[in-house]
Chains A and B, each alone.
Chain A
């Protein structure tokens, strides 16, 4: 069975040395944040994930969820684990203290999220969705809605869902059919079918709070006519207790490739009582604040899977002995050398590590900006940070989940035939990782979001928040000969990204097909360049510290950084060529019968 140890050293390195706790502490509400406060949180999370969540990952995958008479049973051990999770205060970690939360910044929360995803992705879905519902109600709900629902969501007594998808509409939410009919008492009656609803029904909490997209009777057509409603499974009473069962039932569970312990439900709403959240017809924009958050969360899922897969591939490669190293026996006393001595296995392991640590660094940099965008006292600074988060959200979602799948697949490869055997757990990572590329907006949609909504918006203003600091970093470092191995490749990739960005903007302006045709390659080019920046930032920290390095941490960091620059970043060259080639070959594609 796979093992997992949270990468606390790397996490502390990022927080304390790369991002810098001082920047975090400059934010209101974070003044007290220090290692003495953060370390126990991370250590306890690490312990909980390794001891409670990880052991349920395989069994949960085998057992799956069961639907009987409209009731969903999660796999054995899940209710107990959830109770422990809740009692440990983990559902309250990032929430506002006004509702019983601990108010920890995203910079810390994202690290805990990653650990949960590494240990048990399915389990993580339940609190993850609750947090999304918390965000939507916190930003758009009335005072009454907040006081009714938020404390229970924060304490984890109740959980939440996001009900968007219907049989006829996934990406195109304009096609929604679920109806909301107003009642004289100010409530609404919701009727319709929703599918693919994660945590839509389960036995972990006493109540489930559904956030449902539906159309009012006078709704304009398309996405501008969608409203958001809060529809609890049990109607809350004034005293905080549970009232009548609402008209929402689980009519089916999906049979999926992975995340089998996550209950993916079909829900039927029949005259269910709901209340409007936010303004009529503005549901989509309310949902989007939640969706952007969720997309970052899905990116972290990719990162989490990548980490656990890398750990298990590495330990296997150290233990497994097959053949001899190409340059002669590395361990002559043994019947065969460990496979870690083989260059191609090293290539795989370094690729896995470079993706994983690079993505973690980029996520830490983004989490800081996320915290700044919410907490900084100056409105302009908040807006600038938000621009950066807006820009990076589709990149993180698509790049990290592609990386998660690629790394999980490489991890299986390192294990050879044993990776393909269910008992060993490596193939579960591949199956679990795969969904992250699909849900919360497929990665193709992320690429379209990047070129369509982020690239040209406000004359390219979002881009400024990436390009200017990266260029400033390059200019500041380029005279340091020790940094040349990192700055030169970064600066080349940066130049390619500038060129491709100008070209995509120029062509896409006149012809959206061209922008769409370039989107996925462009996103990956952007993502790799952003990782190169993250790696160069880490290298700049590690270089002066490697001399006194007792643990080898910094040397390993620099070795991986060199590997990334030499063996992964050159993909930007090919990607640039692909982007510059334009969409003509796609345009010519003809629908021919086979």
Chain B
């Protein structure tokens, strides 16, 4: 029976095939896509289309430009392609010679220079070759739709819209969509559907106003944050500290963000806004040229892409990298300083914004600018505050949109504060009075509409959010690290919610409890999913380190054993268990997925057994399962050694799959596991898969492995020696590799006899415990916890 999949597995895999697995919904009208303009945006959009499995034509005005862009993307970090195969779906060509390639495209995206004349000239060419009924869209961020369709016929205007992607197109989930008065409803629906399901974007309908939603509000925020920092005399570190964590913005804050996107971009954005917005608009009124910034641009200090920006790094006397920051008053660099403001130490946003120090005054001024402006723009730029908030969350990675921020501060407080400063109170804010922009009514999240009534925040069909489930009721079970929720139709969802979703004894207890409850019939299928961006960073190594430091070896051993027991129970569950990860699923988080009957993964899932990075080996069945997967992989060479070599290579180098597709190549996911592009659809897809598996589900049998023993160990050691000769192996790498080799080759057994699974698991435990007792492993764990980076000792 060795080397074949048992009957029960075939049954579940066959069922799995019927569940949604790919990105392209059957019957989608978009079967081939064209992108014109192979700059950062155009090429990135083409890559994401290819990631979704759709053939794409990428043309550039410069001869050979598109082909070069594809080559560059294969080397870029973060990678625009999810796997190398995706690149093969891109047909690169030149606008001059290959225009005809676009004739076969159902959707053509224009992503060329932001000049109306150039775009209109291109549209004339495209209109001549495109097939009837094909849809055309522009990725413009600044030009009104009306100006783009000018001079073209009705049939063009009917097929035309604006689709504004954010950079980088693979990773940013926002798509702003603007339809013209003539745009066909079917075209809007087709692109929305495709962008949503196939490209994984959240489509936000916008009005045809300059900067749409995200850049209009985000641009004003940056402008205000710079102006006020200079006026109130804040350092860049102070401004960034206040413009990040307190308001739920990424830690780059404002000056760090400018360094990231390029400081030279600012004058362009300013000019475009000045040209298109009325002079009375606060955005135009606040436009200012700062001598210090002009000087930076003139000197080419435009940010990370150049020789530094507001921050820069220099080599110190001992060769260490020292962070320096720009003094906004002198324009010179100085040693970077941790900001020390009392306002920063407070927790409550309103308390911070009313603190009398310069940090509090700064925060108040920027928040009044930002939130007053945002509130004045509904319904000018969008019909609902929920759309505005979603755009800011997804387009700028803010934790809260402006209206959610207003609710945190208190709408009435904001209105009073605006009035106190002699500023206009936006009508929408005035109408809200003492209320809030969001409320939960009968378990449903509602937003305050421009009509003065509350409306449910719309969820498209096929979207199931754990956050919505939570609003509706109490969990079936809960502890400090995990909860079990009823997500309807007899399916339960196990959620991790410890810090970074690290797996600790509470998590394991809830895993065990979930299986027990399922056995008792509390539900028919289980999905494992988490609400945040990450699935799980793995076992809580901080706990393990502390326990090791106080020599609590017994506790640690029972945690390793308890983990194995929980994983075995998960795999042996009499009902289907479907893992639904997104983001990082590392170490123990990966091992949870390895023990699920099926996985429905977000395309952006980064899976790996990374234990070697902290001087350990997988101890919760990760070694055992990878051995089995490679042994049972029909494409792998036969014999006891190849699976061991594959597992050894992957685990010893702590390889991480950079997408769900790469995870399949590494067998961390099965070929039959599904991939969902839209994060919001992941839970629903996983639930559908779980429901489809209920009928006739039989857990897999536990079969022994055939492992090579001492001779295999010698071979692996030789391989490590060869790497060591090239200087790639540190002293402790060697210790870890030795322990891993011992575990994977089956200890005292050899290939002439079968090694029971329990024995391999015992070897995992033994190896894990032995490594945890070495000072070098403890140093690695400590270093990882303190710096987030591996220690090469």
Binding site for B on A (CB under 8 A): 220-222, 224, 456, 458-461, 463-464, 467-468, 470-471, 498, 501-502, 505
Nearest chain B CB to A54 CB, angstrom units: 44
Q: Are A501 and B550 in contact (CB under 8 A)?
A: yes
Q: Return the contact of B546 from the options A222, A224, A459, A470 (Cβ within 8 A).
A: A459
Q: Are A467 and B555 in contact (CB under 8 A)?
A: no
Given A220-B340, A221-B342, A224-B340, A459-B542 contact (CB < 8 Å)? yes
A502: chain B residues within 8 A (beta carbon): 546-547, 550, 552, 555
Nearest chain A CB to B781 CB, angstrom units: 7
Q: Are B781 and A468 in contact (CB under 8 A)?
A: no
Q: Are A221 and B550 in contact (CB under 8 A)?
A: no
Q: Return the contact of A463 from the options B340, B550, B781, B786 (Cβ within 8 A).
A: B550
Nearest chain A CB to B180 CB, angstrom units: 55
Compute how far the CA of A221 lies from the CA of B781 in the bound complex, rounded to whole angstroms: 35
> What are 24 contact pairs spanning A and B, CB under 8 A?
A224-B340, A458-B782, A459-B542, A459-B546, A459-B549, A459-B781, A459-B782, A459-B785, A460-B545, A460-B549, A461-B549, A461-B782, A463-B550, A464-B549, A464-B551, A467-B549, A467-B550, A468-B551, A470-B551, A498-B550, A498-B552, A501-B550, A502-B546, A502-B547
A463: chain B residues within 8 A (beta carbon): 546, 549-550
A220: chain B residues within 8 A (beta carbon): 340
Q: Are A458 and B786 in contact (CB under 8 A)?
A: yes
Instruction: Using A464-B549, A498-B552 as known contacts, list a sample of 6 further A-B pairs with CB atoms less than 8 Å apart, ordered by residue number in A.
Output: A224-B340, A456-B546, A459-B782, A460-B549, A461-B549, A464-B548
**Closest chain B residue to A500 by CB distance?**
B550
Q: Are B545 and A459 in contact (CB under 8 A)?
A: yes
B102 CB within 8 Å of chain A: no
B647: chain A residues within 8 A (beta carbon): none
Q: Which of B545, B550, B555 has the most CB of A within 10 A?
A: B550
B555: chain A residues within 8 A (beta carbon): 502
Compute how far the CA of A378 lies from the CA of B321 in the bound complex, rounded to whole angstroms: 25
B545: chain A residues within 8 A (beta carbon): 459-460
| 0/1 string, B97-109, CB within 8 A of A gives 1 | 0000000000000
**Closest chain A residue to B781 by CB distance?**
A459
Compute how far the CA of A593 lies from the CA of B78 in the bound complex, rounded to whole angstroms: 65
| 0/1 string, B379-407, CB within 8 A of A gives 1 | 00000000000000000000000000000
Give the size of the chain B interface in residues (CB under 8 angstroms): 17
Q: Which of A221, A224, A464 has the most CB of B within 10 A?
A: A464
Compute how far the CA of A460 lies from the CA of B786 in the bound complex, rounded to whole angstroms: 12
A467: chain B residues within 8 A (beta carbon): 549-551
Binding site for A on B (CB under 8 A): 340, 342, 542, 545-552, 555, 778, 781-782, 785-786
Q: Are B546 and A498 in contact (CB under 8 A)?
A: no
Q: Are A460 and B546 in contact (CB under 8 A)?
A: yes
A224: chain B residues within 8 A (beta carbon): 340
Q: Which of B546, B548, B781, B785 has the most CB of A within 10 A?
A: B546
Q: Are A222 and B550 in contact (CB under 8 A)?
A: no
Q: Chain A interface mostly helix, strand, loop or mixed?
A: helix
**Closest chain A residue to B555 by CB distance?**
A502
Q: Return the contact of A460 from the options B340, B342, B550 (Cβ within 8 A).
A: B550
A221: chain B residues within 8 A (beta carbon): 340, 342
B786: chain A residues within 8 A (beta carbon): 458-459
A461: chain B residues within 8 A (beta carbon): 549, 778, 782
Compute how far the CA of A429 lies from the CA of B552 in the bound complex, rounded to whole angstroms: 42
Q: Which of A460, A463, A470, A501 has the most CB of B within 10 A?
A: A460
Compute how far the CA of A501 lies from the CA of B543 in the bound complex, rounded to whole angstroms: 12
**Closest chain A residue to B545 by CB distance?**
A459
A498: chain B residues within 8 A (beta carbon): 550-552
A460: chain B residues within 8 A (beta carbon): 545-546, 549-550
**Closest chain B residue to A472 by CB distance?**
B551
Compute how far the CA of A210 lies from the CA of B786 in the bound complex, rounded to whole angstroms: 38
Compute how far the CA of A470 lies from the CA of B552 in the bound complex, rounded to whole angstroms: 12
Compute how far the CA of A501 lies from the CA of B547 in the bound complex, rounded to whole angstroms: 9
**Closest chain A residue to B773 by CB distance?**
A468
The list of the 10 closest CB pairs from A to B, nearest first, reads A460-B549, A459-B545, A460-B546, A464-B549, A467-B551, A471-B551, A467-B550, A463-B549, A220-B340, A459-B782
Nearest chain B CB to A582 CB, angstrom units: 16
A458: chain B residues within 8 A (beta carbon): 782, 786
Nearest chain B CB to A288 CB, angstrom units: 19
Compute how far the CA of A593 lies from the CA of B342 in the bound complex, rounded to whole angstroms: 33
B542: chain A residues within 8 A (beta carbon): 459
B551: chain A residues within 8 A (beta carbon): 464, 467-468, 470-471, 498
B342: chain A residues within 8 A (beta carbon): 221
**Closest chain B residue to A465 by CB distance?**
B549
Compute how far the CA of A180 lies from the CA of B782 in the bound complex, rounded to whole angstroms: 40
**Closest chain A residue to B544 by CB distance?**
A459
Nearest chain A CB to B210 CB, angstrom units: 43
Compute how far the CA of A502 lies from the CA of B554 in the bound complex, rounded to whole angstroms: 13
Nearest chain A CB to B8 CB, angstrom units: 41
**Closest chain B residue to A501 by CB distance?**
B550
Nearest chain A CB to B683 CB, angstrom units: 29
B546: chain A residues within 8 A (beta carbon): 456, 459-460, 463, 502, 505
B782: chain A residues within 8 A (beta carbon): 458-459, 461
Compute how far the CA of A28 lies from the CA of B342 in the bound complex, rounded to whole angstroms: 48
Nearest chain B CB to A268 CB, angstrom units: 30
Compute how far the CA of A346 lies from the CA of B44 in the bound complex, rounded to whole angstroms: 86
Compute how far the CA of A353 lies from the CA of B778 in the bound complex, rounded to whole angstroms: 39
**Closest chain B residue to A494 by CB distance?**
B551
Compute how far the CA of A222 lies from the CA of B782 in the bound complex, rounded to whole angstroms: 30
**Closest chain B residue to A510 by CB distance?**
B480
A468: chain B residues within 8 A (beta carbon): 549, 551
Compute how far the CA of A63 lies from the CA of B503 in the bound complex, rounded to whole angstroms: 67
Nearest chain A CB to B508 CB, angstrom units: 16
A456: chain B residues within 8 A (beta carbon): 546
B550: chain A residues within 8 A (beta carbon): 460, 463-464, 467, 498, 501-502
Nearest chain B CB to A464 CB, angstrom units: 4
Nearest chain B CB to A380 CB, angstrom units: 9
Compute how far the CA of A437 lies from the CA of B552 in the bound complex, rounded to whole angstroms: 32
**Closest chain A residue to B541 by CB distance?**
A459
Compute how far the CA of A498 lies from the CA of B550 in the bound complex, rounded to whole angstroms: 6
Compute how far the CA of A461 lies from the CA of B785 in the bound complex, rounded to whole angstroms: 12
B340: chain A residues within 8 A (beta carbon): 220-222, 224
Compute how far the CA of A309 lies from the CA of B212 in the bound complex, rounded to whole angstroms: 84
**Closest chain A residue to B342 by CB distance?**
A221
Nearest chain B CB to A466 CB, angstrom units: 9
Compute how far the CA of A460 lies from the CA of B547 in the bound complex, rounded to whole angstroms: 8
A505: chain B residues within 8 A (beta carbon): 546
Nearest chain B CB to A120 CB, angstrom units: 41
A459: chain B residues within 8 A (beta carbon): 542, 545-546, 549, 781-782, 785-786
Compute how far the CA of A456 lies from the CA of B549 in the bound complex, rounded to whole angstroms: 10
B547: chain A residues within 8 A (beta carbon): 502
B552: chain A residues within 8 A (beta carbon): 498, 502
Compute how far the CA of A568 lies from the CA of B778 in the bound complex, rounded to whole angstroms: 35
Compute how far the CA of A224 lies from the CA of B786 in the bound complex, rounded to whole angstroms: 22
Compute how far the CA of A468 lies from the CA of B775 in the bound complex, rounded to whole angstroms: 11
Compute how far the CA of A460 lies from the CA of B541 in the bound complex, rounded to whole angstroms: 12
Compute how far the CA of A459 lies from the CA of B542 in the bound complex, rounded to whole angstroms: 6
**Closest chain A residue to B786 by CB distance?**
A458
Compute how far the CA of A386 lies from the CA of B555 in the bound complex, rounded to whole angstroms: 28
Compute how far the CA of A471 lies from the CA of B781 in the bound complex, rounded to whole angstroms: 21
Compute how far the CA of A241 lies from the CA of B552 in the bound complex, rounded to whole angstroms: 60
Compute how far the CA of A502 lies from the CA of B340 in the bound complex, rounded to whole angstroms: 33
**Closest chain A residue to B784 by CB distance?**
A459
A501: chain B residues within 8 A (beta carbon): 550
B548: chain A residues within 8 A (beta carbon): 464
Nearest chain A CB to B772 CB, angstrom units: 12
**Closest chain A residue to B345 by CB distance?**
A222
